[in-house]
């Protein structure tokens, strides 16, 4: 595992890509590699595969690809595409997020970086402009998910791959009554997607589903502990409860059965659902 974790040091910065805290030092492989436990957890779920050029297993990005990262935030995931030398359209409704993401991606080997400040209604791109579309944790925020997906399909050429994720319904429902009311109000999470509804939405957009998976039990519990701790911001110093949870999860992953336990919990109570789909 240590060899794989060292490769992750080339992956997007964990504090931005995962909206997660840095992990305290601890006496195991993750500490040796100086990789935050959240990033280790994602790697074990198939993310940031530098050896194959896959952002997640089944979603390769290469130098010839044109990538639209819609709802890019600060560009944590976009950085991976930049390191694969792709052409990238960095898109978000927030100007400051786009500015930050563009500045970060321009430090990579991306062959071109194009900023787009847009609410995706419509996306300011011509039909069939890109062949990779990333929409990570975006659909739950938009008023009309079907219309939003239709725009993504429009700007993608035939054969394009789509990487789509949404929060899993189990964790979202469990947070109701724990998270602040604003968490489930605009501009935050205004939709909760059961797994069948998510797949149906993607298929009704005219896409062919190639892979479905879930991941992120670690992150689900992290958020519960975040709300419980009263942590005031998504930045350090971190409440001791969050630090303790990182240490506990890191210890679990270091055990012989740790990855099997993680896989089981990722299925039962994941943070996110993932669909990889293709435009015919």
N-terminal to C-terminal alpha carbon distance within the chain = 37
Containing domain of residue 70, as a range?
A: 62-278
Per-residue confidence (pLDDT) for residue 34, from 0 to 100: 67
The residue among 126 and 3 whose pLDDT is bigger is: 126
- Three-class SS of residue 106? coil
Per-residue confidence (pLDDT) for residue 166, from 0 to 100: 98
In a domain, 48, yes or no: no
In a domain, 15, yes or no: no
Positive or negative torsion for Cα 89, 92, 95, 97: negative
Q: Is the pLDDT of residue 140 over 80?
A: yes
- pLDDT digits over 220-256, tens only? 999 999 999 999 999 999 999 999 999 999 999 999 9
In the chain, the number of structural domains is 1
- pLDDT digits over 121-138, tens only? 999 999 999 999 999 999
Query: Please, what is the Cα angle at 41 between 47 and 269, to 5 degrees?
Result: 100
Count of H-run helices and E-run strands, the chain: 12, 10
Per-residue confidence (pLDDT) for residue 20, from 0 to 100: 33
In a domain, 39, yes or no: no
In a domain, 213, yes or no: yes
Q: In whole angstroms, what is the distance from residue 154 CA to residue 177 CA? A: 38
**Of 24-28, 122-126, 150-154, 274-278, which range is least confident?**
24-28
Percentage, residues of the chain above pLDDT 70: 88
Please provide the size of the chain in residues: 280
In a domain, 93, yes or no: yes
Q: In whole angstroms, what is the distance from residue 212 CA to residue 64 CA? A: 25
pLDDT band, residue 29 (cuts 50/70/90): very low
In a domain, 261, yes or no: yes
- Three-class SS of residue 253? helix
Per-residue confidence (pLDDT) for residue 11, from 0 to 100: 38
Per-residue confidence (pLDDT) for residue 267, from 0 to 100: 95
Region of 103 (left: φ > 0; alpha: ψ -120 to 50; beta: rest) is alpha
Q: Is the pLDDT of residue 28 over 70?
A: no
Structure tokens at 158: 């035939």
CA of residue 108 relative to chain centroid, distance:
19
Mean pLDDT (whole number) for 204-220: 98
Ramachandran angles phi, psi of 140, nearest 5°: -70, -15
Q: In whole angstroms, what is the distance from residue 229 CA to residue 233 CA? A: 11
Mean pLDDT (whole number) for 56-62: 98
Q: What is the mean pLDDT of the chain?
A: 89
The CATH number of the domain holding residue 188 is: 3.40.50.150
In a domain, 38, yes or no: no
Per-residue confidence (pLDDT) for residue 35, from 0 to 100: 84
In a domain, 26, yes or no: no
């Amino acid at each position: 595992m240590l060899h794989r974790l060292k490769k992750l040091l080339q992956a997007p910065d964990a504090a931005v890509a995962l909206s997660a805290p840095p992990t305290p030092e601890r006496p195991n492989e993750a500490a040796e590699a100086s990789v935050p436990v959240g990033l280790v957890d994602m790697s074990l779920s198939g993310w940031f595969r530098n050896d194959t050029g896959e952002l997640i297993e089944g979603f390769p990005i290469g130098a010839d690809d044109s990538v639209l990262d819609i709802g890019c935030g600060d560009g944590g995931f976009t950085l991976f595409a930049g390191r694969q030398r792709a052409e990238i359209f960095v898109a978000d409704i927030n100007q400051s997020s786009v500015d930050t993401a563009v500045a970060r991606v321009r430090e990579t080997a991306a062959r071109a970086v194009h900023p787009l400040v847009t609410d995706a209604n419509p996306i300011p791109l011509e039909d069939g402009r890109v062949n990779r579309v990333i929409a990570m944790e975006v659909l739950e925020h938009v008023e009309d998910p079907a219309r939003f997906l239709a725009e993504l399909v429009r700007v993608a050429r035939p054969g394009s791959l789509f990487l789509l994720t949404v929060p899993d319904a189990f964790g979202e429902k469990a947070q109701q009554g724990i998270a602040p009311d604003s968490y489930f109000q605009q501009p935050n999470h205004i939709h909760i997607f059961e797994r069948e509804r998510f797949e149906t939405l993607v298929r009704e957009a005219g896409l062919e589903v190639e892979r479905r998976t879930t991941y992120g039990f670690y992150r689900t519990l992290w958020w519960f502990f975040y709300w419980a701790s009263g942590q005031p911001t998504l930045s350090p110093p971190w409440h001791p409860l969050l630090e303790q949870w990182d240490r506990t999860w890191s210890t679990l992953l270091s055990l012989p059965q740790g990855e099997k336990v993680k896989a089981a919990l990722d299925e039962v109570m994941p943070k996110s659902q993932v669909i990889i789909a293709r435009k015919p």
